[in-house]
């Protein structure tokens, strides 16, 4: 019997919107000529190991019943337990969660962390629920996926729309169901429950480290650099703050409320405090509200897309005026846009390296939970910088040797590690 193609197998998931899983598959295909005999196993990366779709019924505060849809995907576990966040967002789809789990597989291998790739999500607008409703939603979701997760099986973490409190509820629910406190089932927890110092800032800090190292190679200094940041959540805000503390000028920011600019530099610390207090970027003093198109067209040294996937297509890539793009979000640049940016000489530091700071410190947290021995924030940040910088330079060196983009180089390193493990393990039965 002829085997159906990957696209046919998975097309039912979201036939109207093939992205972003299609982007992940294309990125995998681009690595094939560089894998030698390990290419035999490449097809395994085009098929998630497990895909779980769950119904999540909860009682709302007014007594009515509401149903939500949840997902958890194990993409590849050849190198270790699954690792990946849980996203609460109204536009979450299985297609998206699959792609995010695939990028986690690549990211963990590119950083040489002992994890496979996983991801989860619930299609919900968390802002539409009360705190009590969010807790009920999180605990029911945890119970539904509970047989998949565990300290040695799959370790969730925060993502878009989730935070330390979400992780605390997941940890508690899992622990109650297993009759013992098991802090290692999630990372990104509150410090009081075994969380790691520096975890909250780790992704944004890692984006800055990757940007700084790319700037050193390209001769683009961070001091006095013009920086544009799309997304002002945990990742974008910390990245912007790190840039500002290093002497860069943050000339534009964008969040769900809109885009703002100041050619002399935005006071990032003030912006963080303003948004944290419930304000919107577009209502801040000292900034000019600009259109989305004008935001993307600003001339900059560093552009950091730190919102959602699929932001930069080929048409936009032709018009961008920047030197280095550093992907704070997962999958913000489509494959056809990558080709345009390469042709135009714009360096793209890919997500699987640039935003790996969060999972790196999650690894530190997981290790600390197993040993019940915790490191100082200075130790955490030092280890993070060392691992991030080394991983970036390994990728940059291979990119020069193979004459490929940084993204393809990162995928070559990661796929080689993953498929070497797959080859050694063999097939069972």
Q: Which residues are catalytic?
A: 119
CA distances from 68 to 55, 56, 58, 113 (A): 6, 5, 8, 33
Distance CA(130)–CA(8), nearest Å, equals: 40
Nearest to 314 by CA among 291, 294, 344: 344
Q: Which two tokens stand for residue 239?
A: 């990245």
- The H-or-E segment that residue 54 falls in is strand 50-59
Backbone angles phi, psi at 186, to 5 degrees: -140, 160
Q: Which residues pair with 57 in a beta bridge?
A: 67
Counting DSSP H helices and E strands in the chain, the numbers are 15, 12
Residue in this structure with the two tokens 């974008």, named with its chain if needed: 236
d(CA 132, CA 321): 46
Q: Is 150 left (phi over 0), alpha (psi -120 to 50) or beta?
A: left
CB under 8 Å to 429, separation ≥6 — which residues? none
How many whole angstroms separate alpha carbon 174 and alpha carbon 140?
11
**How far apart, in whole angstroms, are the C-alpha atoms of residue 303 and residue 325?**
5
345 token code pair: 């000489």
């Amino acid at each position: 019997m002829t085997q159906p193609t990957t696209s046919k197998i998975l097309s039912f998931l979201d036939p109207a919107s093939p992205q972003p899983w299609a982007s992940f598959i294309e990125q995998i295909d681009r690595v094939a000529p560089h894998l030698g005999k390990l290419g035999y196993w490449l097809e395994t990366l085009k098929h998630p190991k497990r895909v779980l779709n769950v119904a999540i019924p909860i009682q709302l505060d007014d007594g009515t019943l509401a149903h939500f849809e949840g997902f958890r995907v194990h993409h590849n576990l050849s190198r270790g337990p699954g690792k990946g966040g849980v996203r609460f967002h109204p536009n979450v789809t299985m297609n998206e969660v699959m792609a995010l789990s695939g990028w986690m597989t690549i990211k963990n291998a590119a950083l040489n962390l002992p994890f496979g790739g996983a991801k989860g999500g619930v299609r919900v607008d968390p802002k539409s629920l009360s705190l009590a409703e969010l807790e009920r939603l999180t605990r029911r979701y945890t119970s539904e996926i509970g047989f998949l997760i565990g300290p040695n099986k799959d370790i969730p973490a925060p993502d878009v729309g989730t935070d330390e409190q979400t992780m605390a509820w997941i940890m508690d629910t899992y622990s109650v169901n297993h009759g013992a406190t098991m802090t290692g089932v999630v990372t990104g927890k509150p410090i009081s429950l075994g969380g790691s110092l520096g975890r909250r800032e780790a992704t944004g800090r890692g984006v800055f480290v990757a940007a700084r190292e790319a700037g050193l190679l390209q001769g683009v200094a961070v001091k006095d650099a013009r920086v544009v940041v799309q997304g002002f959540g945990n990742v974008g805000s910390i990245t912007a703050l790190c840039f500002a503390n290093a002497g860069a000028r943050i000339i534009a920011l964008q969040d769900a409320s809109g885009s703002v600019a100041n050619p002399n530099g935005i006071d990032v610390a003030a912006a963080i405090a303003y948004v944290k207090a419930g304000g919107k970027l577009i209502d801040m003093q000292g900034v000019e509200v600009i259109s989305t198109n004008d935001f993307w067209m600003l001339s900059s040294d560093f552009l950091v897309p730190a919102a959602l996937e699929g932001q930069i297509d080929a048409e936009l890539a032709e018009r961008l005026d920047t030197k280095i793009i550093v992907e704070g979000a997962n999958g913000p640049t489509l494959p056809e846009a990558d080709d345009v940016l390469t042709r135009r000489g714009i360096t793209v530091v890919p997500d699987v390296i640039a935003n790996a700071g969060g999972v790196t410190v999650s690894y530190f947290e997981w290790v600390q939970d197993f040993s019940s021995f915790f490191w100082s924030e200075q130790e955490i940040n030092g280890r993070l910088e060392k691992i991030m910088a080394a991983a970036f330079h390994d990728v940059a060196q291979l990119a020069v040797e193979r004459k490929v983009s940084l993204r393809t180089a990162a995928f070559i390193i990661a796929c080689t590690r993953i498929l070497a493990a797959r080859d050694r393990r063999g097939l069972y039965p």
